[in-house]
Amino acid sequence: MPSVPRKPDPTRRSERSRQAILEATRELISEVGYAKLSVEAIAARAGVGKQTIYRWWRSKGAVVFDSFLALSEGVDGMALPDTGDIEADLKAVIRATVAEFADPTFEAPIRALNLEIASDPDLAAQYREKLAGPVDEAKKERLRSAQRAGQIAADADLDLALELLYAPLYQRWLLRSGPLTPEYADAVVDHVLRALRP
C-alpha cells in the first residue's frame, strides 16, 4: 500500500481557532465595548480569516454570546449548586450575582451588551436562544429539584420564579437605583421563597 502523507488533524486545529476567537472576543469587548466590536477585529486578534468566523457563527452577537458561555465552560458550568437546602443555595447564587454586578470589570461588557440587546429585537432573540435560554434552563433544574423536595409548590411557575429572583437585581443594577449588597440578595430570596411556598 502506498504511504499516506501525514496531514494536520483538522479537528484539533479547528478547536484551537475556536478558542482563539472566543478569547479575542472577550478581550475586545472589554476594551472597546459591544457597539465598536467588529468581526474583522476579532479575526485579526485571533489570527484567523473573517470567513472562519462566519463559518461557525452567523453574526457578531452569536460569537459574543458563545464567548460568555465558554467562560462558564458551557451551560453545564451554569448549573446551580444543590446541597438540598434551596434557601442556602439561592442565597449563595444571588449573592454571587450581586457581587458580579457590583464589579466594574465584569459589569462594563455586560452593560454594553444589554444596551445593545434592548435596542435590537433580532439580537434580543439571539440572546434568548444562545445564552439566556440555556442558562435559565440550568437554573430551573435546581428549582425542579426543590419542587421534588417539597420546598417549592409543585405547580409553581418557574419562569416567573426566575424573573422575581433576578429582575429586581437587574433593574437596580441597570438603572443604578439602589445599593447591591449581600443583605439585599438575601431579602430578595426570602421574599421569593415565601411567594413560592407549597
Residues that bind its own copies (CB under 8 A): 111, 114-115, 117-119, 121, 124-125, 127-128, 132, 157, 159-160, 163-164, 166-168, 170-172, 174-178, 184, 187-188, 191-192, 194-197
Rounded least distance, CB 110 to its own copies, Å:
11
Rounded least distance, CB 15 to its own copies, Å:
32
Buried b (16+ CB within 10 A) or exposed e, 50-89: eebbeeebeebbbbbbbbbbbeeeeeeebebeeeeebeeb
Rounded least distance, CB 71 to its own copies, Å:
20
Closest CA to 48 of 14, 17, 70, 12: 17
- Closest CB to its own copies among residues 84, 198: 198
The residue assigned the cell 433544574 is 141
CA distance 118 to 176: 17
Closest CA to 157 of 196, 125, 184: 196
Rounded least distance, CB 69 to its own copies, Å:
17
- Closest CB to its own copies among residues 21, 169: 169
CA distance 94 to 86: 12
- Closest CB to its own copies among residues 96, 108: 108
Helices then strands (H, E): number in the chain? 10, 0
Rounded least distance, CB 156 to its own copies, Å:
9
- Closest CB to its own copies among residues 8, 150: 150
- Closest CB to its own copies among residues 35, 50: 35
The residue assigned the cell 483538522 is 10
Rounded least distance, CB 124 to its own copies, Å:
5
Query: Which residues have a Cβ under 8 Å from the Cβ of 188 and sit 6 or more positions away?
Result: 94, 164, 165, 168, 169
- Closest CB to its own copies among residues 57, 127: 127
